[in-house]
Every structure is written in C-alpha cells, then in structure tokens.
Amino acid sequence: MNKKFANRDPLRYLKARGSKWHYVRRVPGHFSHIDDRGTIRISLKTSSLDVAQIRRDALERADDMYWQGLALDDPARAAHGQYTAAKARAIALGFEYKAAAEIAEHASVEEIIRRITAAVQNPRDEVAALGGLDEPKLTVRKAMTFYIEELSADEIQGRSASQLKKWKQLKNDAADTFCEVISDKPLLDITRADATKYQKWWLDRIAGKDGGKPISGNTANRNMGNMRKLFREYMKHLQLELKNPFDGLSFKDPKRKRKVVPPFETDHIRKRLLKGTPFKTMNKEARLIFLAMVETGCRPSEIANLKPENIHLKAKIPYISVTFTDDRALKTENSVRDIPLVGVSLAAMKLAPKGFPRYADKEAALSAALMKYFRENHLFPTDRHRIYSIRHSYEKRMLEAGYGDEFRRRLLGHDIDRPEYGDGGSLAWRRDMMAKIALAYDASVLD
C-alpha cells in the first residue's frame, strides 16, 4: 500500500443512511470561491461497504482532480483535470466514461436511458453520464511535465536528489528532441508517421549523417523508450486503448567498433597507482574512494554513497554493505551485497569510517574530479582508460586467478542467470578469496 494513504480513515466521506452508503464531503475553504456546492452529498446506491469504498475513492479522486483543474491557470492542464474528474465520476456512477458521440452511435437504448436518468437525478453528473468532455489535448511537453509531476510516483521512489534530477533531465530531453524534430503537438495526435520520422532522425544521427559525431544506438533507444513510455502511461491514466505509435521502433548499434573501457594492467596498478605518492595533491575523499575501489571492484557511486552504518570496520571480518536506502536507488537489485575489505581498500576505509560527505549523492562531481586529476597527472596509460578501468581490472584479476563466474558476478553486483541459493559464501571465505589477489601497496599512497 502507498505510504501516503496507509493511515487514512477507511470510512472517510462515508455516511450510512438507512441501508445505503452516501458520499458526504465539504468543499475545502480555499476552493469555495470556485465551487459553490458547500457540502457534497451523493448516494452510492449500495449497502456493501466494499463497493461503497470503491465508489467513494472514484468520487474523491474526481473532486480532487476537478478542484485542481479549476485552480490551474493553464487551460490545457485545467481541461485535463476536468476530463479525468469526469471519468472517475462516471465510474462511481456505475458507467464507463464515453464521449457523447460514442454514446449516440454505439450505446443501447437501455444504456442511454440509464445515463439520462443519472444526469436528471443529479445535474452535476451530466458531463460524466453523457460524455460532455472530449479527451484533453496536452501537448508533448505539457504531457511530459504531467507525467513527471503526477504519474511517476512508483518510478521515482527511492531516488536521491541527483538521481531524480538526472531522471527528469532525460525525460525532458526526449520530449524536447521530439518537439524539435516533429513539433510540440498534442500527445494523443502523434501518428505512426510522426514516430517513424522521429526514428529516421535518430538513425541518421547514429550513422553520423547529420554531420555530427555518431551516437550510440543505446542513446537513441533511451529517447525512443521515454517517448513510448510517456504515451503508454498517459493512455493508461486516461483509460484509453490506442495504438502506441512508438511500439516496435528501436535501434541497434552500428557495426563500427564500440568504445570499450579497458582494464588497467596489474603492473600499472602496482607501479603507478600503489607506489610512491601518485595522489598527493588529490583531495582526501576522492583519493580514498578510488583506493577503496581497488580491492573491492565497487562502482565509484557505491563507495561515495556509503553511510556510516554501512561501514563495518569493527566487525570480526571488516566489510562494507552496498544496499538500498530510503533516499537513493541502486543500479539493480543484484547490486545489494556485503563486500569484505582487504589490502589498500581496508586501509582507505579505516581513514573514512563515516563515509564521504563531500561526494554523497554527487557522483558526477566525483567522476569529474578523478578524471581531471588522472589526466593532468598522466595516470591513465591510454586515452581510452577511465576511472571504471579499476573495476574492470578487479574482474580481470579474479578471472586470471581462476575464480568462478558466479563468484565474480556476486562480488561485483552483476546479474546472476539462475535462481539464487544461499548467500554466496561466508564473509570469511570471501575475504580469504579476495586476500589471495590483493596487491601490495605503499602506505604513502594513502597520504
């Protein structure tokens, strides 16, 4: 159950009169100047509490959306609120909401009579019963804003401020790009021809035909996927059944060689990164985060966002816990894991027992700081290497030591292609396996 509603009164706005339940609700004071109903009283026409609660929920949502629509300065958003309210109210009345033209053309005589009767009994239900509103025409940009603000609660749950900012940016970028290529037309008016034109534009960018640097199929797929999901979720919200014009449109990466981030060679790590004072002028937190990655294979963000309670230095087997928190999502469920600390990574974490506040939820700043320092100090062996190369190096060291695929996947937080049994081995066993490949280091690299 949604936490927002978990503690709400199950009998809110319900009053029993005789054997029937009624919906009784006062118009909030701050809406009284635009809604003169005072106290709303509607018979729910049922003696079943379960049915009454379902119809109450629909009416409650209808009124909330109606007031929201009336209060909005944006006519398109206001129309959307009123339309959604009419659909919810129709459900409460026992009807499926249909536009007036559809009722006239397809409804049976008996259904038309029932709808007219409902409208006559309560004139305020005329729109809901007789289909007085057409589907709202939110444009692509406004629909995306509505999706972000109203329809994405489950999708954004647990994201941190920086994760949410990036998520919103990707959604808005997809909408902006579509508007530049096609137009900021009403979302529900998008045709298959529009979608295939949009696909062709991305295909040209993947091939570099626009004169710019070729992009990856992954980038194009992300943008197409965001538009596909926007259309799908908006339809679902309006309870429409339309063909999604973006369905089936995706991209493959071209045959050109993809950019692969190579691992650091073990000799490079020993001689350039764990010897002497290679990080002498780097800020302490960035230095310790990188060194904590060396013998854990963790992602930079996983180390940077460790909370004090996830750092277990006093345990018999010192370890860190990468886990979900209320304010931050992980890449995948498989990312949740306990990682023993050995070698230079243990030494680094002992110098940061409370974590890394400078870079908590700021992995972009961390990445920029590390990349700048490595480049300026010639710590990358080639221009293809990145900070992630240290994670790839750890996987390569495990592979060359003969460690099995599942052990490597569990330690690195990758997906495992079978049902999980057990915990992947005790901390002591994992610590001993990791200690076998731990690299010698100079204490000076920590300073």
Query: pLDDT by residue (tens digit) across 378-408?
Result: 999 999 999 999 999 999 999 999 999 989 9
Burial of 9 (0-12, 13-18, 19+ CB in 10 A): exposed
Query: What pLDDT sits at residue 230?
Result: 94
| Bridge partners for 59 per DSSP | none
Query: What pLDDT sits at residue 6?
Result: 44
pLDDT band for 1, please (50, 70, 90 cuts).
very low
pLDDT > 70? residue 152: yes
Query: What pLDDT sits at residue 132?
Result: 57
Least confident piece of the model among 110-124, 143-157, 168-182, 310-324? 110-124
> Are 283 and 241 within 8 A, CB to CB?
no
Query: What pLDDT sits at residue 362?
Result: 87
pLDDT > 60? residue 376: yes
- Distance (Å) of CA 70 to CA 34, 57, 132: 7, 20, 17
Task: Compare 191 and 256 and report the one with higher pLDDT.
Answer: 191
pLDDT > 80? residue 160: no
Query: What pLDDT sits at residue 279?
Result: 96
pLDDT band for 336, please (50, 70, 90 cuts).
confident
Q: Which amino acid is at 139?
A: T
pLDDT band for 421, please (50, 70, 90 cuts).
very low
Phi, psi torsion values for 315, nearest 5 degrees: -70, 160
Give the CA dihedral 244, 245, 250, 251, nearest 10 degrees.
-170
CA distance 129 to 112: 9
Q: Which amino acid is at 394?
A: Y
> Are 95 and 125 within 8 A, CB to CB?
no
> Are 406 and 416 within 8 A, CB to CB?
yes
- Distance (Å) of CA 29 to CA 63, 167, 169, 335, 338: 14, 36, 37, 49, 53
Task: Compare 314 and 125 and report the one with higher pLDDT.
Answer: 314
> Are 267 and 382 within 8 A, CB to CB?
no
Query: Within a 10 A sphere around the Cβ of 133, how many other Cβ atoms?
Result: 18
Residue matched to tokens 């060194």: 291
